[in-house]
Homo-oligomer: A and B are copies of this chain.
């Protein structure tokens, strides 16, 4: 199973970039993983929230391939404990031959077209974090999941 994280907008904080790269490298020891960055909208300030979401949806849809399992990282999604998330990833590995795509939305959430495409919504926290930090939270948690699945001493319960 390959996992892709689709994010809108480049990470600009060089410390966060380095921390995200660190976990990305560690995840790749366990399974194929990449982060696909959709460029931020150039004219975002001239668009309404709804228009921004639709324009982002157009770009996101170009990155989705037939057969992808699409999971949204969304405030309204299901919250997992780390061990539950690891069990969920392990199950996905067993039933998914193709790609699992996680998508981080922009500040206003997703277009309805993206919600329609998704099979599940996951929330990393009830709190809102910057889109750059959400990426770091996700890669740390995916790395943690693989260490739990592989019985490595990273996670303490």
Interface residues of A (CB under 8 A from B): 13, 15-16, 18-19, 22, 79-82, 85, 107-108, 124-130, 133, 136-137, 140-141, 144, 155-157
Q: Is the CB of B133 within 8 A of A137?
A: yes
- A140 near B144 (CB under 8 angstroms)? no
**Contact of A15 (CB < 8 Å), options: B19, B80, B127:** B19
Give the complex CA separation of A137 and B124 in angstroms: 12
Copies of this protein, total = 2
**Alpha-carbon distance between A29 and B133 when the two chains are bound, in angstroms:** 21
CA distance A141 to B125 in the complex (A): 11
* Chain B residues whose C-beta falls within 8 Å of the C-beta of A129 in the assembled complex: 137, 140-141
Given A133-B140, A140-B133: A128 and B19 within 8 A (CB)? Answer: no
Residue numbers in B under 8 Å from A128 (CB-CB)? 81-82, 144, 155-157
Interchain CB contact under 8 A, A156 and B124: no
Query: B140–A137 contact, CB under 8 A?
Result: no
**A19→B129 CA distance, assembly (Å):** 14
